[in-house]
Amino acid sequence: MTCGTVYLVGAGPGDPDLLTVKGRRLLAEADAIVYDSLVSRETLELAGPRCELVFAGKKGGGFCHPQEEIEETLVRLALEGKTVVRLKGGDPFIFGRGGEEATALRAAGIPYEIVPGVTSALAAAAYAGIPLTHRAHSSSVILLTGHEDPSKPGTSVRWEDYAKLKGTLCIYMGVRNLPTITRRLEQAGLAAGTPAAIVQSATTEGHRTVLGTLGTIAALAASKGVEAPAMVIIGEVAAFSEKLAWFDPARLSEVAR
């Protein structure tokens, strides 16, 4: 039997309209789709009627399929001769462990392709009216993970270094550790009054934006019950959301009816 191909496809931030044309085509052609927790139901509905759907969800604090098990599933399905889409929220190579999966596929001799997707930082900022770069306020964007515990020895994220860069910080998976992250940034010299925003469930019906400052955003997130998935944006450009925010999630609900 001829070995199948695995496509590591970025599903984007949630709204299926933000899926790439190639990604949409591959969903319709796939024999099997191995998908994440963050992939929307509407996106999965783009699959063909005979497509096998395999849940491989990962969510902080909840059930998690081991990474090795996911990689073994991709290899097995491809060896069965199937066209496989590994559908990942956002972009597969930005905090999506796509590099690990591509490495496993290469080691097993499985042909694969990478199909980029709109990563959460770009989508969350755009839908909240936050220009991540602005010639008067920010000439750099830094993508960081907040999933680690920043207070433990040996963390790979040196928050103190990023306090000095004067760019826009986009923190993935940072809600749980936000008090520690903001404290360390402030202690390293980033002003407490620096604008900050959290965008929850960007581009979907659950989309909402919480605005504050470096000194207040952690407490605001707790008081307003912000939950994952959420993107934290810290920098002068976050203040633009007050006047440039345009997305109304209620419109999605009306369309769905």
The residues, any chain, with a CB within 8 Å of residue 176's CB and separated by 6 or more, are 60, 61, 146, 228
Query: Rounded to an integer, what is the distance from CA 28 to the centroid of its chain?
Result: 23
194 with 213: CB under 8 angstroms? yes
Catalytic hit among 15, 22, 31, 36: 36
Can you say whether the dihedral through the CA atoms of 6, 7, 8, 13 is positive or negative? Answer: negative
Active site residue 15: no
C-alpha–C-alpha distance, residues 230 and 255, integer Å: 24
| Buried b / exposed e along 129-165 (16+ C-beta atoms within 10 A) | bbbbeeeebbeebbbbebbbebeeeeeebebeebbee
Residue 36 annotated in active site = yes
Other CB atoms within 10 Å distance of the CB of residue 211:
20
H or E element in which residue 69 lies: helix 67-79
Q: Evaluate the omega torsion of the peptide bond into residue 131 and state whether it is cis, within 30 degrees of 0.
A: no
Give the Cα separation of 139 and 173 in Å (integer): 24
- Which of 15, 22, 31, 58 is an active site residue? 58
The four Cα atoms 141, 142, 146, 148 give a dihedral, to 10 degrees, of 170
Would you please indicate which residues are annotated as catalytic (active-site) residues?
Answer: 36, 58
